[in-house]
Structure 1
């Protein structure tokens, strides 16, 4: 299965838990302990799963799902670290892909509207006055303008595209790690990935 399907299986079906490493304690100096990779390699060498655990006392979580969750938890800081690991797990648990705002096009719209018996109209502001000759008399009239904005703003669309790109890169890292690690027993992760930059042409 592709990496997105594998993540959804692990977090949604098997309900694997994302056990993130504790942040380093500045008072105690660098932490001493075993990394997730070491634990997974030792488990693979042992050929069995150690009983017990912090979560799921009565329920069984497939060990391949735990390996996938542990891989996600090891997300490097260059790809978003803990925050991206949590985002990937949450999206997989919900069976979702990041919202890259498909079909969104910035449109020029009024900042404010007012409604009366004639319908909805753009709100206007007085931006000045002008003296004009009307029917032989000089009169002062107000100059009105309609403040506008773009919705959705181009920056919002760009931010959504960037967030999708970051998620896609994180999935690529997880896929490569799972394939290279070769620790999965029953699940085979393929090179299949979600569409890269789905908003692009072609």
Structure 2
């Protein structure tokens, strides 16, 4: 059954489809083409996990209608649950990255991607520069000093050469990628909790399922 599948009914009771938060986000942004409504009202400072949903509820009550987001999909309809999910994403607090994180979450969901945490990456010592010619390749060297050497009874001055090296990928690069993954994971947890607590989704139910936390700790490639 596709993510756009119809909701079945049993005895008149609406049966909601259960989705993990990452799947729900991909459905909202990739399938339904939901749009983030940014920026949020500047006079609202609450950062509780229900803020995004609470704001949507208030606005819906004031307007007396459902969320207006379909204008972004000319000639088509954006599912109301997708708009609720987008509104929750837009409410990510500044402590978790705010608007920048909201955009990141939406972009990844729209592309159906998970942040690259550089699986299997191990820093290796490599030359800073390598020169290639018809004889092959060799590491570039630089002069780091001079030395005097007695050869055949005569003192000669020779250059002391060294090969500059670096680590690739750099440990800081790996650390940055994995910190970014962890920040994204924390944001998804916040969205999940908000959607569950808000209870505003009419045809879907967000479960507690989450992507792997710090998958590099359990990766055999580590």
Q: TM-score, normalised by structure 2?
A: 0.80
Give the aligned partner of residue 9 of structure 2: none
Give the aligned partner of residue 36 of structure 2: 18
CA displacement 1:140-167 (0-9 Å, x = unmatched): 2111000111111111111111101100
SS at match of 2:35: coil
Deviation at 1:110, TM superposition (A): 0.7
CA displacement 1:103-140 (0-9 Å, x = unmatched): 11111111111112221110000111111122333222
Give the aligned partner of residue 6 of structure 1: 24
Alpha-carbon contact 1:40-1:67 (below 8 Å) kept: no
| Pair 1:56 & 2:73 matched | yes
Alpha-carbon contact 1:67-1:184 (below 8 Å) kept: yes
Q: Aligned match of 2:171 in 154, 165, 168?
A: 154
Give the Cα separation in 1 of the matches to 2:206 and 2:181. Answer: 21
Give the aligned partner of residue 75 of structure 1: 92
Give the aligned partner of residue 177 of structure 1: 194
CA displacement 1:150-196 (0-9 Å, x = unmatched): 11111111111110110000000000000111110111111100000
Q: TM-score, normalised by structure 1?
A: 0.87
Give the Cα separation in 2 of the matches to 1:50 and 1:149. Answer: 53
Superposition pairs of residues 18-37 of structure 1, within 5 angstroms: 18-22=36-40, 24=42, 30=43, 37=54
Structure 2 unmatched runs, 5+ = 1-18, 45-51
SS at match of 2:155: strand
